Structure 1
């Protein structure tokens, strides 16, 4: 009966078709391949498979081909559709059971309306447009990833150039100031390594010690301020201390450092 319906019909309603590109990933996108609409067709052929579990209708729509599989089970796409990249729709015939109980007298007409006049029980198995959509999406994604990588490489080069420039600037200062900056920087690095999240920073000699100190263990000053020892301070710490003048300030407050300190 389904075969007769297709042979005697002239149009059918297709369903919407959306696909998800790169599902489950950060850049997943949903795209509309085709929209639901009523299309006119001409029958090329209608046939059943060998097991008589599904019917395949080869239809001509305008200047294109469309395959329709009507089945009670799982649709098996014919090889010709795969090789010719022909769009394919599956029609679920499970609705026929209910229709038969409801419309025993006018069953054929009710089934024809469900099959050809509604897309409620149809779904797209494949549409050639999705191939170009997927390719365009992946091309765009690869281009975006290349841009991200190029920006990362440029940032790395810029950072390397900055580091080299800062190293040269550090080399131009007197050795006494450079050694004092290194001494101060190591205090912060050691405190962070020991697990201290904050340090007591002496505002007189610029030295750092554990944040429970009441006075500076190096110069005796009680002008201490609590500062974090996180990456914000540790990143390029020697260059920062140079820019902030910590080496010069420390040398003025404490020209020499005792051996016991």
Structure 2
């Protein structure tokens, strides 16, 4: 039975893809034919009778093969290296046809880190009761196609997400949007998940308060009470005005004596 293996690595790292056969110490690579293929059609490199007979130009100066355990070394890893690989080993007896010793398939997952998510909020409408805002979360430059998730005060929310990539083997940019109706200060979290990795960012969304309190016209009772007070005040002034001159004449009369 074919043994299936999964190898993971990040862009820029060095990785070894193991083969299914190790040449005994009593023999050499001259007695074997080795093929490393990608997607079963693209020959990464091939050896026959101890010599390299083929090498794909995309792997030039980035690949090497161990002459004993036939491990394919790739450095530095690039996003297009992602995919299924196959190692085929044939023995070359002197008097017989080549014998297939092993044929193993390996799945190679390449990861490129995404940028830390950036969250922005734009207020669309505002009132005393609530603030409606469009929240955007974006991250770029990663691989493979990520999942975007979110939480509002620790309760899950679903982003309206979109992805941009030149091809299936190119870096991805991801953007998520949310339309929120905020009645109080809340915390929004955005997470980008890819190949067992994740990056998150949180932002406090503040409820803006731009309330204009309407001026309430005074009631009828208030107007009536105010009018009475003003009338009493005016009467008091009138009485004082009449009393004070007389009081002044009496004072001058007593001074003359």
TM-score interval, smaller chain: under 0.3
Structure 1 or 2: more helix by fraction? 1
TM-score normalised per structure 1 = 0.25
Highest CA radius of gyration, 1 or 2?
A: 2
Structure 1 or 2: more strand by fraction? 2
Greater relative CO, 1 or 2 (CA 8 Å, sep 6+): 2
TM-score normalised per structure 2 = 0.25
